[in-house]
Chains A and B, each alone.
Chain A
Amino acid sequence: MSLFNRFEAFELDVLKEVGNIGAGNAATALSRLLDKPVDMAVPKVSLLPFEEVAERVGGSEQIVIAVFLRVEGEAPGNMFFIIEEASAKRILRQLVSIDIEEQEGYSEMELSALCEIGNILAGSYLSSLADFTHLTMAPSVPAIAVDMAGAILSYGLMQYGEMGDSALLIETTFLEDRQSLEGHFFLIPDPESFEKIFRALGVVSE
């Protein structure tokens, strides 16, 4: 994908900062919700072959819970908030006192609660990013799915399919209480959005 080959190191740093600001605000929101400190890893910005995207959350067949939002506005893209099942159960227990029985699957109520949590976090991610860049970024109504990571994430890669076999994604992981709760944010801007993000942040590309 020639478009991305010319990304300079500092441009990748800018995108990392984008992830940092967005996820930082989302982590703060989560921390308030849980009333517990939430740690955040340094964001990763990578141009990944489609095959490898799902590896980031445990492989193509790993069952994950994903909240998906389409970002609309001046810098459109796709956003996923992905958590593993164990973390989802912990969030539900802590936050809404829903005690998950050891049964398979989730009730509509539980999914709805998780979807709303994803929505709140993604909303704070995007609104801080919109403030920072002065670009309009409006999340769509969120949708939730519990399924194989490969099947879910490939959905966010279609815009890249037309132009290559890899996608650029901004990934942030956060942790509460070391490992007990782990969540991933994936922001996958549409290929056309990078130019706008860079320009909005004063990075002039040649």
Chain B
Amino acid sequence: MIQHNLVKVGMADLNIATDGAILKTTGLGSCVGLTLYDPIRKVAGMAHVMLPSSEIARETKMNVAKYADTAIPELLDRMLAAGAQMISMKAKMAGGAQMFAMSGHTDSLRIGPRNVESCTAMMLKFKIPIISQDTGGSFGRTIEFDSINGMLSIRSVQFGTKEI
């Protein structure tokens, strides 16, 4: 079976996949692509997190998929509804780069590392182990997450494709 069903996850978006479908998100810069997987029930989930915390949200119609602290609970809910179980959940993540190295700026330009920190803290809170990650650096990533085996494939311009 070569023809896989591709489920696109946009920026500040999340989705789940089962039955061999592949989750894909493109052009991760400082955003973090966090994936969750239940290897027993083969339920995969992916969130394209843009900002670390919803505390700063000023929007009227809140997009929960945008912030690490709201996207992860939502993703978990949807995966549990699809049959996944907390106990076997494993996490992987990629992204959180610092695209431009600039001096004289503080927090707003450290957004990538802060996204990673926030996702890590959420995993700790839900007691989900992060089994592998490819974060940081100063380059963009496109990722694909396979719901058959939980492999996370990461492609970047400089380093080609790797799987974690």
Contact = CB atoms under 8 A, between A and B. Distances in A.
A114 interface: no
Contacts of A50: 10-12, 50
Interface in B21-60: 26-31, 50-51, 56-60
Given A51-B10, A61-B26, A154-B31, A162 B102 contact: no
Interface in B62-99: 63, 66, 97, 99
Contact of B142 (A2, A144, A148): A148
B48 to A, nearest CB: 10
A161 B51 contact: yes
A70 B50 contact: no
A158 B111 CA distance: 8
A188 to B, nearest CB: 14
A162 B51 contact: yes
B108 interface: yes
A159 B111 CA distance: 11
A95 interface: no
A10 interface: no
A112 interface: no
B51 A151 contact: no
A159 B58 CA distance: 11
Interface in B124-142: 138-142
B99 A54 contact: no
Central interface residue in A61, A105, A154, by most chain B CB within 10 Å: A154
Summarize B's interface: helix, strand, loop or mixed: loop
A147 B60 contact: no
A51 B99 contact: no
Contact of B99 (A140, A141, A155): A155
A152 interface: yes
A146 interface: yes
Given A61-B26, A61-B142, A150-B11, A140 B157 contact: no
A149 B100 CA distance: 13
Interface string A121-145: 0000000000000000000110111
B105 interface: yes
B106 interface: no
A165 interface: yes
A63 interface: yes
A161 B138 contact: no
23 contacts: A50-B10, A51-B11, A54-B27, A60-B142, A61-B142, A70-B105, A141-B104, A143-B101, A144-B100, A147-B99, A147-B139, A147-B157, A148-B140, A151-B27, A152-B140, A154-B29, A154-B50, A155-B111, A158-B30, A158-B51, A159-B108, A163-B57, A163-B59
Interface of B: 10-12, 26-31, 50-51, 56-61, 63, 66, 97, 99-105, 108, 111, 138-142, 157-158
